[in-house]
């Protein structure tokens, strides 16, 4: 079963004032969808389960609403839209994770990306269930089991193949600011028979990024020249006038779609407005989807 969807990422707000902010975010989605012509086209919201990371995060991490609490607030405001989420598994033992995943699926979460430790820790650290183990343990409990794919990361081909062997049904890419995913999937298709669904992730870059640098921080991989090029592109986007910025993002989207469309992978689209949903972000997403979009029928 494929998701075959257009998903919009919505980050749970801080606990302080979170209920009001959550409802406000959902109302913005409805308004901007109508204004941009995306009304009825977004079929999922993707809610990340947030955990504390490095101390150098440009926007300090404050306690966030739990995914389930956030979903319960916004779901009535977004009729016809279902849920996807990420779930950190590495700090939950199996009985606790059992209950958590049952609660997520019962709430209407149709897909769960299993996530491990933050990058300040090594793979395998954490007292709970490793995400690669969760993929096989919960084959029957979670229909759509996802993993994060970072096409610029060294060794990612083998890592993704192993996760598919373990039971991953889809991969959600890190934010794409180059065509690295094209070569990655072309090589992956040659090396393996796995054809998991790919959620291609594209993110709007507002002018605020110039001062804050959150997107630059999110995609960082020190010493990786491919990522350095992506960071330069993000910098260019942040400093560009709206029309030029939109053209650059739409052209990137077109190159990625053209490059991966015939490789045999089911495709979905995942949009992210890292600094919060906005009219310009939705206008850009709408122009991308005018070029190509997954259809409800597949």
CATH number where 238 lies? 3.20.20.220
For residue 128, pLDDT over 70 is answered with yes
Is 298 part of a structural domain of the chain? no
**pLDDT for res 122:** 59
Cα 47 to Cα 186: distance, rounded to the nearest angstrom: 29
Give the domain extent around 71. 6-291
For residue 53, pLDDT over 80 is answered with no
**pLDDT for res 55:** 65
For residue 51, pLDDT over 80 is answered with no
Cβ proximity of 142 and 86 under 8 Å: no
Cα 235 to Cα 207: distance, rounded to the nearest angstrom: 9
The mean predicted confidence, pLDDT, of the chain is: 94
Is 283 part of a structural domain of the chain? yes
For residue 123, pLDDT over 80 is answered with no
Is 281 part of a structural domain of the chain? yes
Q: With bands split at pLDDT 50, 70 and 90, how would you rate the model's confidence at 119? A: low
For residue 54, pLDDT over 90 is answered with no
Q: With bands split at pLDDT 50, 70 and 90, how would you rate the model's confidence at 297? A: low
pTM of the model: 0.96
**pLDDT for res 61:** 85
Cα 31 to Cα 152: distance, rounded to the nearest angstrom: 35
Q: With bands split at pLDDT 50, 70 and 90, how would you rate the model's confidence at 57? A: confident
Secondary structure (DSSP) of 274-285: TT---HHHHHHH
For residue 137, pLDDT over 80 is answered with yes
Cα 73 to Cα 155: distance, rounded to the nearest angstrom: 40
Half-sphere exposure of residue 248: CA atoms within 13 angstroms, side-chain side: 21
Is 90 part of a structural domain of the chain? yes
For residue 102, pLDDT over 90 is answered with yes
Is 296 part of a structural domain of the chain? no
Q: With bands split at pLDDT 50, 70 and 90, how would you rate the model's confidence at 294? A: very high
Cα 189 to Cα 262: distance, rounded to the nearest angstrom: 11
Name the least confident of 49-53, 65-69, 75-79, 202-206: 49-53
- Tens digits of residue pLDDT in 207-260: 999 999 999 999 999 999 999 999 999 999 999 999 999 999 999 999 999 999
Q: With bands split at pLDDT 50, 70 and 90, how would you rate the model's confidence at 121? A: low
For residue 156, pLDDT over 90 is answered with yes
Average pLDDT over residues 73-98: 96
Per DSSP, 78 falls in state: S
**pLDDT for res 56:** 76
Average pLDDT over residues 59-76: 94
Q: With bands split at pLDDT 50, 70 and 90, how would you rate the model's confidence at 124? A: low
For residue 34, pLDDT over 70 is answered with yes
Cα 7 to Cα 224: distance, rounded to the nearest angstrom: 29
Is 1 part of a structural domain of the chain? no
**pLDDT for res 116:** 84
Cα 163 to Cα 245: distance, rounded to the nearest angstrom: 35
Is 163 part of a structural domain of the chain? yes
Cβ proximity of 153 and 226 under 8 Å: no
The fraction of the chain above a pLDDT of 90, given in percent, is 89
User: Cα–chain-centroid distance for residue 25?
Assistant: 17
With CA atoms as reference, report the closest residue to 150 among 195, 189, 127, 184: 184
Is 207 part of a structural domain of the chain? yes
Number of domains in the chain: 1
Average pLDDT over residues 63-72: 96
Average pLDDT over residues 139-160: 97
- Count other Cβ atoms within 10 Å, centred on residue 171: 26
Per DSSP, 75 falls in state: G
Average pLDDT over residues 137-144: 97
Average pLDDT over residues 3-12: 97
């Amino acid at each position: 079963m494929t998701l075959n969807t257009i998903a919009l990422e919505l980050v749970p707000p801080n606990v302080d004032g979170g209920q009001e902010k959550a409802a406000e975010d959902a109302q913005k989605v409805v308004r901007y969808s109508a204004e941009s012509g995306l009304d009825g086209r977004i079929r999922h919201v993707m809610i990340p389960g947030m955990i504390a990371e490095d101390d150098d995060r440009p926007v300090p991490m404050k306690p966030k609403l739990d995914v389930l609490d956030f979903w319960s607030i916004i779901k009535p405001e977004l009729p016809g839209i279902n849920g996807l989420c990420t779930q950190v598994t590495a700090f939950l033992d199996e009985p606790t994770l059992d209950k958590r995943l049952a609660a997520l699926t019962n709430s209407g979460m149709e897909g769960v990306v299993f996530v491990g430790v933050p990058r300040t820790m090594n793979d395998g650290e954490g007292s709970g269930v490793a995400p690669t183990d969760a993929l096989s343990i919960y084959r029957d409990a979670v229909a759509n089991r996802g993993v994060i794919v970072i096409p610029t990361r060294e060794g990612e081909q083998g890592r993704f193949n192993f996760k598919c062997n373990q039971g991953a049904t889809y991969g959600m890419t890190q934010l794409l600011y180059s065509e690295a995913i094209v070569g990655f999937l072309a090589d992956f298709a040659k090396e393996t028979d796995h054809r998991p669904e790919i959620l291609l992730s594209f993110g709007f870059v507002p002018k605020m990024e110039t001062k804050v640098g959150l997107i630059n921080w999110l995609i960082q991989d020190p010493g990786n020249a491919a990522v350095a090029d992506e960071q330069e592109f993000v910098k260019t986007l942040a400093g560009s006038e709206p029309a030029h910025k939109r053209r650059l993002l739409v052209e990137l989207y077109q190159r990625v779609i053209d490059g991966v469309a015939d490789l045999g992978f089911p495709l979905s689209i995942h949009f992210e407005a890292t600094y919060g949903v906005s009219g310009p972000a939705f206008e850009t997403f709408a122009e991308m989807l005018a070029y190509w979009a997954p259809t409800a029928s597949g």
